[in-house]
Structure 1
Amino acid sequence: MHFQVRAITLDLDDTLWPFAPIGARVERVLHDWLLQHCPRTAEQFPIEAMRALREAVYVERPDLSHDFSQLRMLSLIRAMELSGDDPAHADAAFETFYAERNRVEFYPDSLAALERLAARVPLAAISNGNADLARIGVHHHFAFQLGAREHGTPKPAASIFHAACTQLAIAPGEVLHVGDDIEMDVVGAHRAGLRSCWINREGHTWPHELIRPDLEFTTLAALADWLDAAHQPDTAAA
């Protein structure tokens, strides 16, 4: 299938890099920091207990469901207060977490594919997570990054897709959204009027009958191949 694509919006976690290794690693690194600087907090809230506290804070603050960074900070402050440590340490603890959160390992095809895609059309990142493309070192491939925290509403809300299209100054129907998540990325983009591409690295079966992605690939490199082919001049009439 070929159609006009004037810009691409990209999900980040589990599209450009796997998130599971990051999620496991940041908890260990944060706990090690707490052991050194806030030992009472580390003792009262080892990794499992800290995770449970964080989930409780999430339930308490549904108004911050779009802001993982603020929820993480509130969880750290709560843990330190309950443990008798100085909550002033929360800023340094968060920075330790956030530096590790942005230490990503790209899928093998991602970096080369990003460069190829950016050479064809403008790229913008749309993410519910709190990755920082500047810290990661790939911001130069993107026109901008739009997070749920900055926008105020997460995917799959149509408004975050429309905000990206407005910033790109391109109509939704000419923007292709690319991501791994069936509901957040593909269904969300479809309902917002964008084209959609499902990056299905694990070979999952599509679950919906009435909504389907416009494109489906197992790698980002395959999308770059498709976009290259779509930009080749039509020589059929030559």
Structure 2
Amino acid sequence: MLDVARIGAISLDLDDTLWPIWPTIERAEKVLHAWLVENAPMAAALFSSPSALRDIRAHMAAQRPDLKHDLSALRRESIRLALYRAGENPLLAEPAFEAFFAERQRVELFGDVLPALEFLASRYPLVSLSNGNADLERVGLARYFQAAISAREFGVGKPDPRIFHAAAGAVDAVPAQVLHLGDDVLLDVLGALNAGMQTGWVNRTEALWPHEDQRPHLVLRDLGELCEVLR
């Protein structure tokens, strides 16, 4: 059970917790393809489907394990490889990635998110904790958060306890004082539990909890339910 009295800060996952990620990525990949059609047509023809670009990303991930926590660098270098294979100028990777990245920041928030962030930020210091590459400033949510911790900048990702401890430290808390909220069973819930935090599983799809030996302190259909618990 959640111990409300222990909560001194809240950490939040971003992708699929505050917004659905795959519609965002699919839209950004369409923007990337349109940019390639105009500026690097041979690469656009060679990699004309999102699945083809994902295949080359998988190849790049296997070749560059040092980039596994930096999704931006992985995407940029994948584009560079696609350009090279198509006989296009690899230097176009930078502007091509920026076209993708700008669209990737145009997220559509779940309907409960803004009211919940207003409520939570007025009562607790909030820190974002993400393995992804969303930019809170560009997304438009930075005003609600006192800190942002990403796997790309920190060097390791969830579920490693060290990144959870870094999130706690970023808001001057110890892990036991932090409630972590996220959608992913392994990365968010089990990761936070193993780091000594209380956890809220944001289960928007009404999935069944898969682990009998460890459970979240709270299961939420949306962030509005947490606000009701904390009022």
User: Is the pair's TM-score, using the shorter chain for normalization, greater than 0.5?
Assistant: yes
Cross-structure match for 2:204: 201
> What does 1:217-232 correspond to in 2, within 5 Å?
217-228=220-231
Letter in 2 for 1:28: K
5+ residue gaps, structure 2, are: none
CA–CA distance in 2 between the matches of 1:134 and 1:82? 34
Q: Which runs of 4+ in 1 moved over 6 A?
A: none
State the SS of the aligned residue for 1:120: coil
In the other structure, the counterpart of 2:135 is 132
Determine the structure 1 residue equivalent to 2:73: 70
* Residue 183 of structure 2 is aligned to residue 180 of structure 1: yes
Q: Name the counterpart of 1:40.
A: 42
Equivalent residue number for residue 2 of structure 1:
3
Could you list the per-position Cα deviations for residues 115-144 of structure 1 after superposition, in whole angstroms to 9, with x for gaps in the alignment? 111011000000000000000111000001
CA RMSD across the alignment: 0.9
Stretches of structure 1 that go unaligned for 5 or more consecutive residues are 229-238
> Aligned to 1:17, which of 7, 16, 19?
19
CA drift at 1:98: 0.3
Q: Matched residue of 2:166: which SS? A: helix
Q: What is the DSSP-based 3-state SS (H/G/I as helix, E as strand, rest coil) of the residue aligned with 2:122?
A: helix
Letter in 2 for 1:89: L
Aligned residues: 228
Q: What TM-score results when the alignment is normalised by the length of structure 2?
A: 0.97
Whether contact under 8 Å (2:16, 2:183) holds in the other structure is: yes
Distance across 2 between alignment mates of 1:64 and 1:226: 39
The reply to whether residue 216 of structure 1 matches residue 190 of structure 2 is no
Percent identity of the aligned residues?
Answer: 46
**Distance apart, 1:61 and its partner CA:** 1.5
Once the 2 structures are TM-superposed, how far is the Cα of residue 2 of structure 1 from its aligned partner? 3.5
Give the deviation of 1:63 after TM superposition.
Answer: 1.9
Q: Within 1, Cα distance between the matches of 2:220 and 2:85?
A: 48
Q: Give the structure-1-normalised TM-score.
A: 0.94
- Partner letter of residue 225 of structure 2? A
3-state SS, counterpart of residue 216 of structure 1? strand
Larger radius of gyration: 1
Query: Residue deviations 1:182-202, cap 9 Å, x none?
Result: 000000000000110000111
**Aligned partners of 1:38, 1:166: CA distance in 2, in Å?**
45
Q: Distance in 1 between matches of 2:190 and 2:54?
A: 29
* Cα distance in structure 2, aligned partners of 1:173 and 1:220: 21
Contact 2:126 2:171 in 1 (8 A): no
The one-letter code sitting in structure 1 at the alignment partner of 2:3 is H
